[in-house]
C-alpha cells in the first residue's frame, strides 16, 4: 500500500490552519468538480481532493494522520504499525468516508469511532432549551494479560486531539484511573460513564468506550478466552513421559507430558485459560529442546546415542 500525502494533494503546508485547508479544498473543488471541469482526469482528482479534505478537516483524523505518517514520502510503501491507534481518544459514532475512499484511508481511519453506542443523541426542546446527550468517545488501550486473571486498577493516558486558537491541531493528554475486571478479554469494551463529550443544556455527558487489546507477552498469546503457550520439554521428558510445572498468571499447575510426544504436539488443559463463564482453555504447544553438545561428556553422550540407537530421523519419508 502506498502512502498518500494529503497535504500535497491540497497544496498546503503541514502547519496549515483549518481555514487554509478549507480554502484550498474549495479552490480545487471548483477546478476538478466533474460537473464543471474540463480536465480529463477530473473525477479521479476530485476523489483524491475529497479524501484529503476528509482527513485534514477533521481534527482527530488529522492528528492521527500526522502521528503515523511522519517521515513518509508520497508513493512510499506504507503499512501502519500494529496498534498504532492505541491511546488515541476519538469522538463520533461512525468512520465517515472509510468505505468510499481508498484502502489507505480505510486502513488508517476505518476503526475510528466504529464501536457501537457512539454519536450524539438529541432529546428535543425542554423548558425552552435544546438538550443533547454528549458524544460517546472511543479509544483502544493496551493491557497486560496478567490483568485478566487478577483484575486491576490501571492509570491510562490518552492522546486527545485539540484545535488551538489559530485552528491548528495539537495533541493533549488526559489520564484516567480505570478498573480492569477479572476475565477481561481481547476486544472487550470497558464503558466509563460520563467520560465522553459534554452534553448540551443540562443533558448528561457521553461515555468513553475503551476497546481492550493485550500487549505482546513473552510467553502467552490470547485467542478469545483461550491462552496459547509454547512449552519447552527435554528429550527424555518427551520420550519417556513426565509431569512438568507450568507457571501462569493465575498460579502454577502440573501438566502430564505423554510418552513419545513430539515437537508441535498440542495439549489442551480445560478451564485454565482466561477466567470467565465458562473460562477458556490453556493450549500448550510442545517444543522438544536438545541439550547443547558443549562439553566432552555431552559430546560422548551424543556419540553413544548415535551408536546405540541407530536412529534415522529421515526414515519413512520424514524428509
On whether residue 123 sits in a domain, the answer given is no
Work out how many domains the chain is built from and give that number: 3
Q: Which position has the grid cell 435544546?
A: 130
* For helices 18-32 and 42-56, angle between their N-to-C axes, nearest 10 degrees: 170
Question: What confidence score (pLDDT) does residue 231 get?
Answer: 96
CATH code for the domain of 23: 1.10.287.110
Query: Which element (helix H / strand E) includes 243?
Result: strand 242-248
Q: What's the CA gap between 8 and 44, in Å, rounded?
A: 16
Q: What's the CA gap between 53 and 6, in Å, rounded?
A: 8
Inform me whether the pLDDT recorded for 164 exceeds 50: yes
State which residues form the domain around 262.
Answer: 220-309
Question: What confidence score (pLDDT) does residue 86 get?
Answer: 82
pTM of the model as a whole: 0.72
Domain boundary among 214, 234, 256: 214
Inform me whether the pLDDT recorded for 95 exceeds 60: no
pLDDT band at 120 (very low <50, low <70, confident <90, very high): very low
How many residues appear in the chain? 319
Domain boundary among 193, 214, 235: 214
Q: Where is pLDDT greater, at 185 or 81? A: 185
Q: Which position has the grid cell 507457571?
A: 247
Q: Write out the three cell numbers for 175.
A: 489520564
Helix (H, G, I), strand (E, B) or coil at 306: helix
Residue 302: is it exposed, middle or buried by C-beta count within 10 angstroms (0-12/13-18/19+)?
A: middle
Domain boundary among 214, 242, 260: 214
Q: What's the CA gap between 43 and 50, in Å, rounded?
A: 11
Question: Are the C-beta atoms of residues 208 and 139 closer than 8 Å to each other?
Answer: yes
pLDDT band at 70 (very low <50, low <70, confident <90, very high): confident
CATH code for the domain of 236: 2.60.260.20
pLDDT band at 121 (very low <50, low <70, confident <90, very high): very low
On whether residue 105 sits in a domain, the answer given is no
Question: Are the C-beta atoms of residues 301 and 309 closer than 8 Å to each other?
Answer: no
Say whether both 224 and 264 belong to one domain: yes
Q: What is the CA radius of gyration of the chain?
A: 28
Question: What confidence score (pLDDT) does residue 113 get?
Answer: 47
Tell me if the bond preceding 278 is cis, omega within 30° of 0. Answer: yes
Helix (H, G, I), strand (E, B) or coil at 26: helix
Per DSSP bridges, beta strands 251-257 and 169-180 are unpaired
Region 169-191 average pLDDT? 90
Q: What is the pLDDT of residues 265-304, one digit of tens each?
A: 999 999 999 999 999 999 999 999 999 999 999 999 999 9
First to last CA, the chain: 38
pLDDT band at 88 (very low <50, low <70, confident <90, very high): confident
- Of 28-37, 126-135, 217-226, least confident by mean pLDDT is 126-135
Amino acid at each position: 500500500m502506498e502512502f498518500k500525502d494529503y497535504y500535497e494533494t491540497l497544496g498546503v503546508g503541514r502547519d496549515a490552519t483549518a481555514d487554509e485547508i478549507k480554502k484550498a479544498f474549495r479552490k480545487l473543488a471548483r477546478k476538478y468538480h466533474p460537473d464543471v471541469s474540463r480536465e480529463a482526469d477530473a473525477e479521479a482528482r476530485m476523489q483524491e481532493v475529497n479524501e484529503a479534505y476528509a482527513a485534514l478537516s477533521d481534527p482527530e483524523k488529522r492528528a492521527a494522520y500526522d502521528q503515523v505518517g511522519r517521515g513518509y514520502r508520497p508513493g512510499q510503501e506504507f503499512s501502519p504499525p500494529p496498534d498504532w491507534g492505541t491511546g488515541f481518544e476519538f469522538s463520533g459514532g461512525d468512520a465517515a468516508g472509510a468505505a468510499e475512499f481508498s484502502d489507505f484511508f480505510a486502513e488508517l481511519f476505518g476503526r475510528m469511532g466504529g464501536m457501537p453506542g457512539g454519536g450524539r443523541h438529541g432529546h428535543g426542546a425542554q423548558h425552552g432549551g435544546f438538550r443533547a446527550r454528549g458524544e460517546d468517545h472511543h479509544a483502544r488501550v493496551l493491557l497486560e494479560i496478567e490483568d485478566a486473571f487478577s483484575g486491576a486498577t490501571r492509570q491510562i493516558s490518552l492522546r486527545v486531539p485539540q484545535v488551538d486558537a489559530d485552528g491548528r491541531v495539537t495533541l493533549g493528554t488526559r489520564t484516567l484511573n480505570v478498573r480492569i475486571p477479572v476475565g477481561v478479554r481481547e476486544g472487550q469494551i470497558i464503558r466509563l460513564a460520563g467520560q465522553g463529550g459534554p452534553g448540551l443544556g443540562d443533558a448528561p455527558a457521553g461515555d468513553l468506550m475503551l476497546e481492550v487489546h493485550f500487549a505482546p507477552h513473552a510467553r502467552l498469546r490470547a485467542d478469545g478466552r483461550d491462552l496459547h503457550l509454547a512449552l519447552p520439554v527435554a528429550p527424555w521428558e518427551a520420550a519417556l513421559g513426565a509431569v512438568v510445572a507450568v507457571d501462569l498468571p493465575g498460579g502454577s499447575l502440573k501438566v502430564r507430558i505423554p510418552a513419545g510426544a513430539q515437537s508441535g504436539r498440542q495439549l489442551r488443559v480445560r478451564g485454565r485459560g482466561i477466567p470467565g463463564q465458562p473460562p477458556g482453555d490453556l493450549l500448550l504447544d510442545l517444543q522438544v529442546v536438545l541439550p547443547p553438545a558443549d562439553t566432552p561428556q555431552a559430546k560422548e553422550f551424543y556419540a553413544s546415542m548415535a551408536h546405540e540407537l541407530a536412529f534415522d530421523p529421515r526414515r519413512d519419508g520424514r524428509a
